Amino acid sequence: MSPATLPEHVRTLIVGAGFGGIGMAATLLRDDPAADVLVVERGDDVGGTWRVNTYPGAACDVPSALYSYSFAPEPGWERAHGTQAEIYAYLRRVAREQGVMQRTMFGCELRNAQWDGERAQWAVSTSRGDLTADVLVAATGALSTPTLPKVPGLEMFRGNMFHSAEWDHDHDLTGERVAVIGTGASAIQFVPAIVDKVEHLTLFQRTASWVMPKRDHGIASSVRSLYRRFPWVQKAIRGAVYGQKEMYVVGMTKPFARKYALPLFEKRARSVLRKQVSNPELRARLTPDFAITCKRILLSNDWFPAITRREVDVVSSALTSVTENGVVDAAGNEYRVDTIIFGTGFMPSEPPVAQHIRGEDGRSLAEVWNGSPSAHLGISVNGFPNMFLMYGPNTNLGHSSIVYMLESQAAYIAAALRAMRTRRLDAVEVRADAQRRFAEELDPLLAGTVWNAGGCSSWYLDSTGRNSVMWPTFTWHYRNRTKEFDAENYELWAANTGARA
């Protein structure tokens, strides 16, 4: 059972109960089942993005074999790519079995966290009350707060309007005229799922995306039984999938490989487009003008068949305004619609939680970052002692499973807490020069990647033009870097003395 009230003080406070928060808490509890850990979650259940994103067709584009914790295998996956319902159920099971559920307070949103240097604690304010914590772990994820385009007239619209991450299941789309804004990873899943219901669908495509077939299929019950009986078989398949995915990063990050490998991917994507879109004018508008993988490749077997239907119009422009009864494109054309659905993504380079965490000098994390997030190993920020990030700057992937990265981060943070305990430290704070060296190490590597040099504009680039989102090499490199806590890169304060250890 979850705690009914907030404690006055907790050793480790984790904010967010998605893949990152559950994995972090489970790691600490496996080290010490009696660990003083509390997770606060603004929602009513664990699951993070997989609890929130319930739109029709929601599923994962990473194979199920890899999209799970290594310490909690799931032999019962029914599909090669998990659906939202499957992944949500998996996270709930792991949270229960690992003892995380009973350490999580739901309906508890972080409002402010301020570092108190005199007490070497975080003073935390939440929607359920106040408490202090020795250590703060922000595990709110990069895809937790949906964004809407800033266009005039949104408040005037008389119909129904919602973001795909806040799907209105009480609203029936049957027979309606629907506008979908955006053609990203969410729209590519929900548009084919709703197109049969609507009378007409107007799709606003600001930028075309590269689309590849999704190698999804059901997993036979005999195979699932095999995994249950011989777990090593599933582990071996997980390893094989991991190895295959790791090779993709070569084509994305190495200039010589980009020259020879990416054209093969692009040829395959153009072949799919040519076979599924017969109209040459529409096919031209659906063909991206940037290198493949510069933006996230979208995986789908039914996207092009859905948007080439007679009842679908593809508008190749951004939404410019909204009227009482419709939406307007860049040419000034108005389309009368009953419902507007925004598939316009999230705020990965400017996470809202950064506005609520204040460090030694009183400035918020957002103010310190000033539009360009940076953190040592994507985990620690100078000026914010005893504060760690999950899925922080430059830890996103374009080729593999983020769960692998999150496990690496959880192990690193757990090692930092062990070092604090064994060395009797009050606080650890990454040194500014260490954080700067890490950024200086990544930036040249990122400069030659397809994300920076592929000719596209994406959410990987922050407001300064820096790529503060992506990890530029193999994930096993990151795991090696986070295998142990690098205390030499931190200021360490000994307990009760205030002196450097």
Q: In a 10 Å sphere around its CB, with 0-12 CB exposed, 13-18 middle and 19+ buried, how is residue 43 labelled?
A: middle
pLDDT at 461 over 90: no
Q: Which amino acid is at 306?
A: A
Q: Flag whether 4 is in a domain.
A: no
**CATH classification of the domain holding 297:** 3.50.50.60
Lowest average pLDDT, out of 99-113, 249-263, 311-325, goes to 249-263
DSSP secondary structure letters along 140-154: --SS-SB-----TTG
Asked if residue 94 has pLDDT above 70, the reply is: yes
**Quick one: pLDDT at residue 248?**
87
pLDDT of residue 3: 78
Q: Are residues 256 and 383 in the same domain?
A: no
Q: How many domains does the chain have?
A: 2
Domain boundary among 342, 361, 392: 342
Q: Are residues 135 and 38 in the same domain?
A: yes
Rounded average pLDDT over 442-458: 86
Residue 56 in domain: yes
Decide if 231 is inside a domain: no
- Which residue, 163, 173, 162, is CA-closest to 200? 173
Cross-strand partners of 494:
425
- What's the confidence (pLDDT) of residue 332? 95
- Is residue 361 situated within a structural domain? yes
Q: Of 422 and 142, which is predicted with more confidence?
A: 422
Q: Based on the domain organization, do 390 and 270 belong to the same domain?
A: no
Q: What is the mean pLDDT of the chain?
A: 93
Pairwise CA distance, residues 434 & 481, whole Å: 13
In the chain, the N- to C-terminal Cα span, in Å, equals 40
Domain identity same for 370 and 330? no
Note whether 395 and 463 are same-domain residues: yes
Whether the CA torsion 46, 52, 57, 62 is positive or negative: it is: negative
Whether residues 323 and 373 fall in one domain: no
How many Cβ atoms sit within 10 Å of the Cβ of residue 117? 14
What one-character-per-residue DSSP string does 282-349 give? HHHHTS-SS-TTSSPPEE-SSHHHHHTSTTEEEE-S---EE-SSEEE-TTS-EEE-SEEEE---B-SS
Q: Are 389 and 138 in contact (CB under 8 A)?
A: yes
Tell whether 486 and 438 lie within a shared domain.
yes
pTM of the predicted model over 0.85 = yes
- pLDDT beyond 70 at 496: no
What's the chain's Rg over C-alpha atoms? 23
Domain ranges, residue 432? 9-145+347-494
Q: Report the distance separating Cα 243 and Cα 4, nearest Å.
A: 44
Q: What is the mean pLDDT of residues 449-477?
A: 87
Q: State which of 287, 320, 342 marks the end of a domain.
A: 342
Whether residues 165 and 306 share a domain: the answer is yes
Q: Which residue has the higher pLDDT, 432 or 351?
A: 432
Residue 304 and residue 203 share a domain: yes
For 132-161, what is the mean pLDDT? Answer: 89
| Integer Cα distance of 55 and 460 in angstroms | 24
Q: With 80 as the cut, is the pLDDT of residue 501 above it?
A: no
DSSP string, 299-310: E-SSHHHHHTST
Residue 233 resides in a domain? no
CB of 294 closer than 8 Å to CB of 190: no
Q: Considering only CA atoms, which of 139, 106, 90, 85 is closest in space to residue 1?
A: 106
Q: Are residues 186 and 132 in the same domain?
A: no
- Same domain? For 317 and 363 the reply is no
242 located within any domain: no
Position 460 scores a pLDDT of: 85
The answer to whether residue 235 sits within a structural domain is no
Is 236 within a domain?
Answer: no
The residue from 342, 360, 388 where one domain ends is 342
Residue 358 belongs to what H/E stretch?
Answer: strand 357-358
Residue 196 sits at φ, ψ, to 5 deg, of -70, -25
Please provide the DSSP assignment of 378-432 as one string. TTB-TT-TTEEESS-TT-B-SSS-HHHHHHHHHHHHHHHHHHHHHTTEEEEEE-H
Place of tokens 């107007």: 202
Reported confidence tier of residue 260, pLDDT bands at 50, 70, 90 = confident
Predicted pLDDT at 261: 84
Q: How confident is the model at residue 495 (pLDDT cuts 50, 70, 90)?
A: low
More reliable by pLDDT, 309 or 459: 309
Are 209 and 259 found together in one domain?
yes
Tell me which residue of 136, 197, 5 sits closest to 428, measured CA to CA.
136
